[in-house]
Structure 1
Amino acid sequence: MMAGPARIVILGAESSGKSTLAEALAAHYGTVWVPEYLREFVETRGRVPFEEDQFGIARTQRERENALAERASRFLFCDTSPLMTAIYSRAYWNRVDAQLAALASAHDYALTLVAAPDVPWEPDGLQRDGIERRQEVHRMVIETLDERRIPFVQVGGDLPQRLRQVRGLLG
């Protein structure tokens, strides 16, 4: 584990409520959260990423996480991680390049949460694939965590239910 606040990562498919949960948890615990850099990437470039963009996206996500850890108190809530970027690389291109794989292997979070795909689907510009892909990616997340023996807790329901579940874990 890294020194500093306990890093809590929220993984999950698109439109599964990760950002909403991360922001609400940060507000509840009086700390900061790390937004998903991929959203900014898509908005500023006006396109979805290409395969060669994946490592840079994951690296930027981790750099922002490290920077915000210095401002966090007790917990740092992370909306995604390099592991999620690697899962999407596998989903779209059937492979993960060596640099991204190495970055994704450093999954050193105090707690890994998986957002269940049980909230209403909300299209979000260029980034969204569709509700069918959401189920497929969710399955890939669970399988990847199981394969790597990374313990996780799946959270589901509406936002108040998800907050109660996480507060029960964190106190």
Structure 2
Amino acid sequence: MMAHPANVIAVVGAESTGKTSLVHELTRVLSGRGVDVVMVPEVLREFCDAHGRTPAVHEQQGIAREQTQRILDATRSHDWVVADTTALMTAVYSEYIFRDHSLYDQAMLDHSTSALTLLTSLDIAWTPDSFIRDGAHVREPVDTLIRQTLIRHGVSFQVVAGTGAARVNHALSAVEHVIGGGAGASAALRGKSQWRWYCDNCDDGECEQHWLSRLK
């Protein structure tokens, strides 16, 4: 499969590290600043929701291909794409769960042209999510595999840490550095204008208690 163009912000990380919430928030903030941006959801989660189970080993390659294809399709109609994982995560879980290393070469070819790789850190609490999540004990070895793979393939990455608004700000600082002066970025983004997150339960943008509830 053809690798996607370099206008992709790839968000990867172990389970229950706030990837989906971060992707939604980054997309919302960038869009509010006038950037032509779209998010691409995690195909694995859609598979699990649709089938009521996790994938078997022979289904992993199809999930990885679909993730890459959706990212590629999104780059054709938007200046920037924020991806809730890439094929890299499918390859990592294939190794961890099935001891299958066969997906890495294509996954890293697809991933490595991303403009920015954000790795969500393990500094927020693990929370259950029905059958989709394996448990807190899985996070550290998966995080290690992600780091080792990125380093082995010479792909630089930014670790995103902190809680609540601080976590989003940490990610935004890396994003602004990459796209702040590029095509498709608004004057507001280039000037790093202040943003505010509004939680679903009150109008306090710094309400960490409500923000953390969205990471579940």
The question of a shared fold, defined as TM-score above 0.5 by the shorter chain, is answered with yes
Q: Which residue of 2 aligns with 1:48?
A: 54
Matches within 5 A, 1:90-109: 90-97=95-102, 100-106=103-109, 107=111, 108-109=113-114
Asked if 2 retains the 8 angstrom alpha-carbon contact of 1:13 and 1:134, the reply is yes
Q: Which residue of 2 aligns with 1:27?
A: 28
1:105 Cα deviation after fit: 2.5
Structure 1 segments of 4+ aligned residues over 6 angstroms from their partners: none
Does residue 163 (structure 1) correspond to residue 163 (structure 2)? The answer is no
**Pairing partner for 1:36 from 39, 42, 45:** 42
Structure 2 residue ranges without an equivalent (≥5):
32-36, 177-216
Q: Secondary structure at the match of 1:125?
A: coil
Q: Which residue of 1 aligns with 2:130?
A: 125
1:2 Cα deviation after fit: 5.1
Cα deviations across residues 79-138 of structure 1 (Å, max 9, x unaligned)?
1111111111110111223xx334213121001110001112121122100001111111
Q: Which residue of 2 aligns with 1:16?
A: 17
Aligned residue identity for 1:168: S
**Larger relative helix fraction:** 1
Q: Which residue of 2 aligns with 1:140?
A: 145
Q: Secondary structure at the match of 2:131?
A: helix
Cα deviations across residues 31-84 of structure 1 (Å, max 9, x unaligned)?
2111101011001111111110100001111111122223433x2111111111
When the two structures are aligned, how many residues end up with a matched partner?
167
Q: Secondary structure at the match of 2:123?
A: coil
TM-score normalised to structure 2 length: 0.73
Q: Which residue of 1 aligns with 2:76?
A: 70
For 1:105 and 1:170, locate their aligned partners in 2 and report how far apart those are by CA, in whole Å.
21
Asked if 2 retains the 8 angstrom alpha-carbon contact of 1:59 and 1:103, the reply is no
Asked if 1 retains the 8 angstrom alpha-carbon contact of 2:158 and 2:174, the reply is no
- Higher RCO (Cα < 8 Å, 6 or more apart): 1
For 1:70 and 1:20, locate their aligned partners in 2 and report how far apart those are by CA, in whole Å.
24
Q: Secondary structure at the match of 2:150?
A: helix
TM-score normalised to structure 1 length: 0.91
For 2:49 and 2:108, locate their aligned partners in 1 and report how far apart those are by CA, in whole Å.
28
Aligned residue identity for 1:24: E
Aligned residue identity for 2:147: I
For 2:82 and 2:167, locate their aligned partners in 1 and report how far apart those are by CA, in whole Å.
14
Identity %: 34
